[in-house]
Structure 1
Amino acid sequence: MDDTFWTALTTSILAALVTSIGIFTIRRFADWGHRNTTYFICFAAGVLISASFLHIIPKSFSMNPDAPVWLLVGFMGLHLFNRFLTAFVCEKNPARKDYVIGVIPMLGIGFHTFIDGFIYSISFSVSIFTGYLATVGMVLHEFPEGIITYLLLVRGGVAPKVAVMLAFLAAAATTPLGMLVSYPLVNNIDQQALGALLSLSAGALVYVGATHLLPRAEQEQKKFSLVALAGGVLVAVVIVASKA
């Protein structure tokens, strides 16, 4: 294996480690996390929606002329899966009626972090400097991503120990997995294919933020929820600026 492979793998593992630290930090301070879940939901909505509109969607549109179609597929695909989960899991088992608030965001975030692994492979294959620039932007959002995934799973009724495992698999392990899967194929992944994948993930993230997180936050009407939402938007702006 060449130096590029090991550098890309190391940085993707670093991203997974940062996410894991976020998961285990919020697990350690569970009571505080539960009291402030609404603020984390608002923060997550701000990050996911803003990052999608400010960076992921424009980038994918510039790479693939069919990206709007994939954006719609990502959005509607997750909506249909939500309907399936609600009809065949939640309605048949009332004890699991809130599972969608955790499972759907977990799937959206998991797919997105898997695509992040592709970006590590591709950016480091372009140049080491390009790879490090991409790393700065992506690692910035890993810590809160782990926290958000865990909290939403617990909020949806998943047992804390199971939520830790699922959050780790979805938000952390998928990044190095995506890097390992994509690296042997990196020379065959053209801009249009990556653009389609990015647009698909953006559609999923917009769906999670706009239809799951924001409505739930609005129901509870916490005093500083708008401040938390603005904080998420600001973090997304910082991430986008660091990648510029």
Structure 2
Amino acid sequence: MENTFLTAFAASSLAALVTSAGIYVIRHFERWGRENSIYFVCFAAGVLISVSFLHIIPKAFSMNANAPVYLFAGYISLHLFNRFINAFVCEKSSDEQYAIGLVPMVGIGLHSFIDGFIYSITFTVSIFTGFLAATGMVLHEFPEGIITYLLLVRAGFKERVSLLLAFLAAALTTPLGMLVSYPYISQISKPFLGALLAFSAGALVYVGATHLLPQAEREHKKYSLLALGAGVLVAFIIILSKT
């Protein structure tokens, strides 16, 4: 149990580190960050979608007979959460700086906090399941750090303030979410853990297929399809090496 906690905490901390790397790169190497961050998005999407359908969802189905319901709930919940954030940004705020910078930052912070829950859930199921989920999740943190920082800068915040806010919202919240959720998740029954795993899988599918892939389609980068395929291939290799 102690090893599970340490592994989950290490993975969530690595996610925070990768997010911080994204923030650093876009601040100091803006051109490179803008041109190449989409490849991280594509690779992460390939990994997340593949590991969800090939390992995490079957694992959840074997643990809980009602897992399909929780899978759907996870997907639709994240969709509604993002719709709420977008509606709040577009319709509820008259302050341009608040709408462009702070509200998306809060949304990203909540999303990253929930990511911490996923680390707790997947690593509690097994180290291998947690490793598969973390492979895609960690990589998608890099462009998330870039996006958070750029939104704050474009909203008029100073660079140092944007750096600090982006780190607090996008990076620090992930290990914090893991630390908050782990004591509860590590003590629940197997069927309930299966339900949570299915819910997490729905969230991962949403992040990969509905959040990340549309970004790749908008960018039309030359090697984006190759990066997506590489993510799928890496997921296949990891899963097949376990079986």
Give the whole-Å Cα distance in 2 for the aligned partners of 1:231 and 1:103.
32
Q: Note if contact 2:70-2:198 (Cα within 8 Å) is conserved in structure 1.
A: yes
Amino acid at match of 1:178: S
TM-fit CA distance, 1:71: 0.9
Residue 25 of structure 2 corresponds to residue 22 of structure 1: no
Give the whole-Å Cα distance in 2 for the aligned partners of 1:111 and 1:100.
17
TM-fit CA distance, 1:200: 0.7
1:220 is matched with 219
C-alpha deviations, 1:166-189, integer Å up to 9, x for none? 222343332333323334x2xxx2
Residue 167 of structure 2 corresponds to residue 168 of structure 1: no
SS in 2 for 1:91: helix
TM-fit CA distance, 1:218: 0.6
Q: Pick closer, same or farther for the CA change 1:110–1:228 going to 2, 3 Å.
A: farther
TM-fit CA distance, 1:143: 4.2
Residue 38 of structure 2 corresponds to residue 38 of structure 1: yes
Q: Pick closer, same or farther for the CA change 1:59–1:100 going to 2, 3 Å.
A: farther
Q: Pick closer, same or farther for the CA change 1:212–1:134 going to 2, 3 Å.
A: closer
User: How do 1:103-182 residues align onto structure 2 when only pairs under 5 Å count?
Assistant: 110-121=113-124, 123=126, 131=127, 137=132, 140-141=135-136, 143-154=138-149, 159-182=162-185
SS in 2 for 1:39: helix
Q: Note if contact 1:149-1:171 (Cα within 8 Å) is conserved in structure 2.
A: no
Q: 108-117 or 202-211, which moves further after superposition?
A: 108-117
Aligned residues between the structures: 228
1:190 is matched with 189
Residue 198 of structure 2 corresponds to residue 203 of structure 1: no
TM-fit CA distance, 1:147: 1.7
Q: Note if contact 1:117-1:177 (Cα within 8 Å) is conserved in structure 2.
A: no
C-alpha deviations, 1:36-57, integer Å up to 9, x for none? 2222221221122112111111
TM-fit CA distance, 1:233: 1.6
1:90 is matched with 90
Q: Note if contact 2:45-2:231 (Cα within 8 Å) is conserved in structure 1.
A: yes
Amino acid at match of 1:218: E
Give the whole-Å Cα distance in 2 for the aligned partners of 1:223 and 1:101.
29
Identity of aligned residues (%): 41
Amino acid at match of 1:13: F
Structure 1 length as normaliser, TM-score? 0.76
Q: Which runs of 5+ in 1 are unaligned?
A: 124-130
Q: Note if contact 1:109-1:205 (Cα within 8 Å) is conserved in structure 2.
A: no
Give the whole-Å Cα distance in 2 for the aligned partners of 1:217 and 1:100.
24
Q: Pick closer, same or farther for the CA change 1:86–1:121 going to 2, 3 Å.
A: closer
Structure 2 length as normaliser, TM-score? 0.76
C-alpha deviations, 1:198-221, integer Å up to 9, x for none? 111111121222222211211220
Give the whole-Å Cα distance in 2 for the aligned partners of 1:231 and 1:150.
22
TM-fit CA distance, 1:144: 1.8
